[in-house]
Amino acid sequence: ILSPVAEFCCGLFVILILGNFWFLAVLYLLWLYLDWGTPCAGGRRSQWVRSWTVWKYFREYFPIHLIKTSELNPNHNYLLGFHPHGVLVAGAFGNFCTDPTFKNLFPGLTPYLHIMPIWFGCPFFREYIMSAGMVSASKESVSYVLNNEGGGHASIIVIGGAEESLNAHPGSLTLNILKRKGFIKMALKHGAHLVPVFSFGENELFKQVANPKGSWLRNVQEKLQKIMGFALPLFHARGVFQYSFGLIPYRQPIHTVVGSPIPVKQNLNPTNEEIDQLHALYLQKLKKLFEEHKSNYGIPEHKSLIFE
């Protein structure tokens, strides 16, 4: 979703610099300098952008569904862990960055989708993603969202991150989560209730070139991911007029299931033991959520989540 638009915006900025509109580029750079901290301070969402008609067609293409399993009291703040990353993260974008699905199911809650800070350095593109409700995934940004005294804020973090996209093969149920405990610490420090979210169908949208761990391709991808901060999965799907090859995602239904909240008591200085304990409970609740709903979305009974 992000890359093609980002490339277009960067290209537009280059055209301004090289053309007769270089002064506009200079003015924008000044604005960028003055506005640099906004992605870490709640962003700048636009109800108009979030309500564009194109998002309705985007959700209906797959289609994308948001399933509510429990009430989320708007008097609290929440940290929603989204799984899996997939290639496109379509469920996260369609459900949390467009209206009106989320606000209809969870009235009184404002969702903030946290993404890699690198995207907010892209000229013009940063304005677009902030208008959709995306903010930085930095600690500062998550703290800003969860510090809302009156409650009503929901931080959505794709826990597996870019690394997990390399596992995004159809049928894959492998999640990168065992070493990812920063979100647990943030939830404890701010007393934000934890909510596991599993998006069934997220890994079915593309076919990825075989890259088992230890292969030369996987090694190259992992090295590039460490250098650049984002992964480069080699994937394909369908074309516009044919279904054999292209970069348009397959029309596969996505069901994003929001689990029950795990109450978290605020602890400004949690110990490693307390973090590990809550992390283990989160894994237990995430696995339970998956097991309770997998039969509804075509997952064979013998299949289970793999944590690594």
Using DSSP, how many helices (H) and how many strands (E) does the chain show? Answer: 12, 11
Q: How far is CA 258 from each of CA 81, 137, 154, 197, rounded to the nearest angstrom?
A: 9, 20, 12, 5
Sorted by where each starts, the structural domains of the chain and their CATH numbers stand as 40-307 (3.40.1130)
pLDDT per residue as tens digits for the range 155-212: 999 999 988 999 999 999 999 999 999 999 999 999 999 999 999 999 999 999 999 9
Closest alpha carbon to 167 in 233, 103, 228: 233
pLDDT, mean of residues 6-30:
72
Q: How far is CA 293 from each of CA 286, 301, 303, rounded to the nearest angstrom?
A: 11, 11, 12
CA 253/CA 201 separation, integer angstroms: 6
The reported pTM is 0.92
Q: Which residue has the higher pLDDT, 23 or 109?
A: 109
Q: Is the pLDDT of residue 81 over 80?
A: yes
CA 305/CA 308 separation, integer angstroms: 10
CA 227/CA 222 separation, integer angstroms: 9
pLDDT per residue as tens digits for the range 130-145: 999 999 999 999 999 9
